[in-house]
C-alpha cells in the first residue's frame, strides 16, 4: 500500500504518518508538506519506506501531480475551511481515494459537491475522520445501530490549549467560535450563535467537568444525511476556562470575521502562546470527547453515553491512519463523498483504536470499556 500524506509533517497528520510507518502492509509513505525541512526530518527519522517532498496545496497542478499514482491520500492540510475542498478535489482529479481530518462545518458541506464526480470515477472521498468529527461520528453510528428510533445525538468535546498548539488548530478554534453555526433541531438545520448555550459537561478523567458552548463543527451537517435523528448538536470548549472567555472576547470584537483577520490573529496567538497558554493550564493537558445518544428500543426509552480522553494528536491521528488502512485493504469501498457514519464499521474501527491504546468507555460514569 502506497500512501501520500498531505500536510504530513503537521502535528496531527504527522502522528498518523508515524502510525502508518509501523504497518508492514504500507510499503511507501510520501510526506508532502509546505515545510520541506520538517517533512524531510520526519522521513529520515521513520526510515527508508518514507520519502518527503515540498508541496504547496495552493498550486493545483502541483497537488494533482503529487497525488497521482498512490493508493490512498491522507489529508491534514489546514485550516480546512480554506483547503479541504481544493485538496479533496485534487485527489479526485488524480483518481486516488482520500481520507481527511477535516473539522470545519463549511468545508464538510462544500466537499459534498464532489459526490457525483467521485461516484462516477469510483473514488472514495472520506471527509472528517479524526477526533471530532471522526470518532464522534463512529460512536453515533454505533449507538444508532443499537436503537430502533434515534431522537437526539449530542456531541461534546473538551480540548486543552496546551495539548495542541499548531497554527491550523488555532485558526480552527477561532473559526468554530465565530458567527452563526449549524445545528440540527427538530428534523431540520438551523443556525445558532457560536459560543452560546453554555453548559457544564462531565468528561472522562483526567479532564472532568468543562464548560462547553455551541461551536461550528461538521457533525450536524453530515450525520443527518445518514442517520435519522430529530436533533444533532455539537458543543465544545477549552479546559482552560479563562481562554474560553478570551476567545469569546476576541470574537465579540469582530477580529475573526474574515479569513485574513483569522490568519493575523492566529499568528498573534501562536506568538503569544508560551504565555497565553499558561492561563488556567491543567496539570495534565488532555482532550476528551463525549457522545450522548437517546431514542427508543423495543418501545422503551434508551440512552447511550460514550467517552474517551487522551492527547489530541492521538485522538485525531490514529483515526486518520486507521481510515487509510481500511480504505487500502478494501474494508471501506464506498465511491462518492462519505463521512465516517456512512461507511466505517464501528466495531472494527474501535477495536483498532483499542490496540493503539485509545480506550473508549460507555455509561454516565465512564466505567465500562467497549474496546
Domains in the chain, CATH or no CATH each: 2-130+313-355 (3.40.50.720), 135-310 (3.30.360.10)
Q: What are the two backbone dihedrals, phi and then psi, of residue 179, each rounded to the nearest 5 degrees? A: 70, -155
- Sequential DSSP letters for 351-364: HHHHHTT---EETT
C-alpha cell at 243: 481562554
Q: Report the number of secondary-structure helices (H) and strands (E) in the chain.
A: 14, 17
Q: CB-based contacts of 248: which residues, under 8 Å, 6+ apart?
A: 177, 195, 213
Burial 30-42 (b: 16+ CB within 10 A, else e): bbbbeeeebbbeb
What pLDDT does 276 receive? Answer: 57
- Look at residues 98, 120, 173 and name the one whose alpha carbon lies nearest to residue 339: 98
Place of cell 508515524: 18
pTM for the complete prediction? 0.92
Within a 13 Å sphere around the CA of 301, how many CA atoms are in the beta-carbon half?
2
| pLDDT tens for the 371 residues of the chain, in order | 999 999 999 989 999 999 999 999 999 999 999 999 999 999 999 999 999 999 999 999 999 999 999 999 999 998 999 999 999 999 999 999 999 999 999 999 999 999 999 999 999 999 999 999 999 999 999 999 999 999 999 999 998 876 665 566 777 778 888 899 999 999 999 999 999 999 999 999 999 999 999 999 999 999 999 999 999 999 999 877 767 677 776 777 777 777 777 777 777 766 766 655 555 556 667 899 999 999 999 999 999 999 999 999 999 999 999 999 999 999 999 999 999 999 999 999 999 999 999 999 999 999 999 99
- Look at residues 353, 333, 328, 352 and name the one whose alpha carbon lies nearest to residue 343: 333
- Look at residues 148, 111, 77 and name the one whose alpha carbon lies nearest to residue 301: 148
Amino acid at each position: 500500500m502506497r500512501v501520500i500524506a498531505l500536510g504530513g509533517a503537521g502535528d496531527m497528520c504527522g502522528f498518523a504518518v508515524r502510525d502508518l510507518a509501523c504497518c508492514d502492509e504500507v510499503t511507501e509513505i510520501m510526506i508532502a508538506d509546505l515545510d520541506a525541512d520538517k517533512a524531510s526530518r520526519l522521513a529520515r527519522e521513520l526510515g527508508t519506506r518514507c520519502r518527503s517532498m515540498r508541496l504547496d496545496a495552493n498550486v493545483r497542478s502541483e497537488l494533482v501531480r503529487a497525488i497521482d499514482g498512490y493508493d490512498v491520500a491522507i489529508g491534514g492540510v489546514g485550516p480546512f475551511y480554506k483547503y479541504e475542498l481544493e485538496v479533496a478535489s485534487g485527489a479526485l482529479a488524480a483518481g486516488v481515494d482520500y481520507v481527511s481530518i477535516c473539522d470545519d462545518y463549511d468545508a464538510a458541506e462544500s466537499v459534498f459537491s464532489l459526490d457525483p464526480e467521485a461516484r462516477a470515477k469510483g473514488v472514495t472521498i472520506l471527509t472528517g475522520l479524526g477526533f471530532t468529527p471522526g470518532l464522534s461520528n463512529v460512536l453515533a453510528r454505533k449507538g444508532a445501530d443499537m436503537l430502533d428510533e434515534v431522537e437526539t445525538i449530542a456531541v461534546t468535546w473538551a480540548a486543552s490549549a496546551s495539548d495542541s498548539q499548531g497554527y491550523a488548530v488555532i485558526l480552527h478554534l477561532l473559526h468554530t467560535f465565530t458567527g452563526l453555526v449549524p445545528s440540527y433541531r427538530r428534523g431540520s438545520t438551523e443556525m445558532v450563535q457560536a459560543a452560546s448555550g453554555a453548559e457544564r459537561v462531565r468528561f472522562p478523567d483526567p479532564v472532568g467537568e468543562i464548560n462547553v458552548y455551541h461551536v461550528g463543527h461538521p457533525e450536524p451537517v453530515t450525520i443527518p444525511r445518514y442517520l435519522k435523528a430529530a436533533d444533532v448538536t455539537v458543543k465544545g470548549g477549552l479546559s482552560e476556562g479563562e481562554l474560553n472567555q478570551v476567545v469569546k472576547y476576541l470574537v465579540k470584537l469582530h477580529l475573526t470575521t474574515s479569513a485574513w483577520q483569522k490568519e493575523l490573529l492566529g499568528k498573534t496567538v501562536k506568538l503569544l502562546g508560551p504565555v497565553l497558554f499558561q492561563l488556567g493550564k491543567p496539570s495534565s493537558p488532555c482532550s476528551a470527547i463525549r457522545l450522548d445518544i437517546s431514542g427508543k428500543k423495543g418501545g422503551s426509552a434508551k440512552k447511550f453515553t460514550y467517552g474517551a480522553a487522551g492527547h489530541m494528536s492521538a485522538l485525531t491521528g490514529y483515526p486518520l491512519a486507521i481510515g487509510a488502512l481500511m480504505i487500502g485493504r478494501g474494508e471501506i469501498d464506498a465511491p462518492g463523498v462519505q463521512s465516517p457514519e456512512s461507511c466505517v464499521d464501528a466495531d472494527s474501527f474501535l477495536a483498532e483504536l483499542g490496540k493503539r491504546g485509545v480506550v473508549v468507555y460507555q455509561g454516565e460514569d465512564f466505567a465500562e470499556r467497549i474496546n
